Structure 1
């Protein structure tokens, strides 16, 4: 959700681990390198904000209790000690017309995620309805 990054003090950000796809790529990278880079997008503005710093994973209950991005405390959070903050070049957002919905391709002209999955899996007997139901169930389990 918007605004889910918390500011603990002048040099510390906290990012709650939201319920999601159970992939630990970012956490693994932080554990291996102790570093994290963030790119903040502000809807309607082309310039982004880049934040770099040292990071760790925290499971401290007193910290997690303060973070409720989806109505319940997360299991872990990334704690970032900020070392650099600077505006980042907006060229890619400007070229992509990211904030100009009138320039976006029609959603009706794009395949759904279920259609893409069906085409990629190419399994005999697997139907679009089955994949759509699996997607709905996955979302229900993650976010309810």
Structure 2
């Protein structure tokens, strides 16, 4: 098993693909120039839900993959915890929404699965981080937890 280190892009606000790409150009490429000028550099890529959704349309994902490859950026992991813009002044508990009890979380994660599958080189492995099933209060009902479990099973089946 090899260990890959990377620059995590969720330190920069980027609620859409245009902002994400600008952050990669302005920050990740500068880091790459300093630490991995002669080869690819791993990145932990954060795609907010609107950015992930936009990669499902037409050739956008292929173009983004080609751009990443051209610049030597290797997204081996996706940060799927923050759904939307979590760079507001007060984030607090909003970062935990939508939860796995909401189908928006399922759709977002499936978009990330599709994107990562296309961004990785054939035969490569990757990962996607996500949030806990539930956090804080109110406590979810058994029915809500059942729905969260169904959503997680849907993702697991997609990965199989």
Larger of the two Rg values belongs to structure = 1
**Greater helix fraction, Structure 1 or Structure 2:** 2
**Greater strand fraction, Structure 1 or Structure 2:** 1
TM bin (shorter chain): under 0.3
TM-score (normalizing by structure 2) = 0.25
